[in-house]
Chain A
Amino acid sequence: MHQFFNHARNSALCIAGVAVAWVLFFKLNAFVFSYFEKTEFVNLVFIPAGLRLVSVLLFDELGVLGLFFGALITSPSFSTNINEAILISLLSALNPYLAVHITRRLLKVDHLLTQLSAKELVLMGLFSALSNCLIHHFYFEFANLRASWADCENMFIGDIFGIGIILTLFVICLKLIRKCSAQPVAQKSNQI
């Protein structure tokens, strides 16, 4: 019983972490890249798209749940049309999960990502961005929402830029961490 609660707490932590990260990145994106906003659903630079990919790769279904709650909180139609907000958030969260699973199967990348290379990661990002813009616009078309197919292209570009920015940030963070952890070792060796 204790173990069950421990697992549940850890899962809730992951979900909350992803949801909070989504909200932060979404707000940051709206603040920094507001100039590139095309419609309420489309931006030419969309950083949270990168978070989608990373969350799903690391946390699987928990990432999906976190993304869903995050997208629901930041949905522009959350207060006006809750059904629409839930559906769009579901699409937003499920898309990268399906895209990653399909590409992982096609590229024969295992669950632990041991075979993952840069090329495969880029392909995953591309496929995720493509499926995201297509499925969103199929829904917009189906629900008669204000969105044109030209925006589909913009959404794709926005997702690609977003994924690129997040992966670049990832690299910078890793290099900084390595640099910081290497400094004390270098100092020690100098002392010796």
Chain B
Amino acid sequence: MANFKLIYQKFLNLANAVEELSEFPTLDPVEQKMLALLSKYWSDKQKITVVEAMHMTTEISTSTIFRYLKKLRQKGYIELVVDEMDNRVKYVSATAQTDSYFNKMGKLMLKASS
């Protein structure tokens, strides 16, 4: 039997998945905040380790940050680079996708202000 409410819910979820195909993987507010915090280090050409990233803000707990770092890595927004001298140290660095995401956001901001 047809249940239009269920069909509509499925349609919305399918639409989200389909839109992901053409755009950047969607970011929730916490992920956006994390990227914004990390971008401070990246723009100053500073290297940031995973441990440092976990303590970069007091607003979000370290375990939550770690979980979100994993999520961002899965979505291709960050990559972990192993230190040349010490294999135990991993740096959080931006990817090409992160650069294009910031570029797009910048363009959108200009568009909105004009």
Would you call B20 and A11 a contact (CB within 8 A)?
no
Q: Could you tell me the distance between the alpha carbons of A171 and B4 in the complex, rounded to whole angstroms?
A: 22
Query: Chain A contact residues: over half helix, strand or loop, or mixed?
Result: helix
For the residues of B in contact with A, the DSSP-based class is: helix
- Which residues does chain A contribute within 8 Å of B110, judged by CB atoms? none
Whether A167 contacts B21 by the Cβ 8 Å rule is yes
CA distance A57 to B16 in the complex (A): 14
Q: Are A10 and B1 CB-contacts (below 8 A) given A54-B14, A58-B14, A174-B15?
A: yes
On chain A, the number of residues with a Cβ less than 8 Å from chain B's Cβ atoms is 25
User: Given A10-B1, A58-B7, A112-B9, is A171 in contact with B14 using a C-beta cutoff of 8 Å?
Assistant: no
Q: How far is the CA of A98 from the CA of B4 in the complex (A)?
A: 22
Q: A56 → chain B, closest Cβ, in Å?
A: 11
Tell whether, in the assembled complex, residue A11 and residue B2 are in contact, meaning their CB atoms are under 8 Å apart. yes
Chain A residues in 8 Å Cβ range of B2 = 7, 10-11, 13-14, 59, 62
B70-95, CB < 8 A from A: none
Contacts of B14 in A (CB 8 A): 54, 57-58, 113, 116, 121
Q: Is the C-beta of A37 less than 8 angstroms from some C-beta in chain B? A: no
Assembly CA distance A8 to B15 (angstroms): 27
Q: Counting CB contacts under 8 A, is B108 at the interface? A: no
- In the complex, whether A170 has a CB less than 8 A from a CB of chain B is yes
Q: Do the beta carbons of A171 and B22 come within 8 Å of each other?
A: yes
Query: In the complex, which residues 26-56 of chain A have their Cβ closer than 8 Å to any Cβ of chain B?
Result: 54
Task: Report if A117 contacts B (CB, 8 A).
Answer: yes
B13 within 8 Å of A (CB atoms): yes
What residues of chain B have their CB less than 8 Å away from a CB belonging to chain A?
1-2, 4, 6-7, 9-11, 13-22, 25
Further pairs besides A10-B4, A58-B11, A168-B22: 11, Cβ < 8 Å: A7-B1, A7-B2, A8-B1, A11-B2, A113-B13, A116-B16, A116-B17, A117-B17, A117-B20, A118-B21, A167-B21
Residues of A that sit less than 8 Å from B by CB = 7-8, 10-11, 13-14, 54, 57-59, 62, 112-114, 116-118, 120-122, 167-168, 170-171, 174
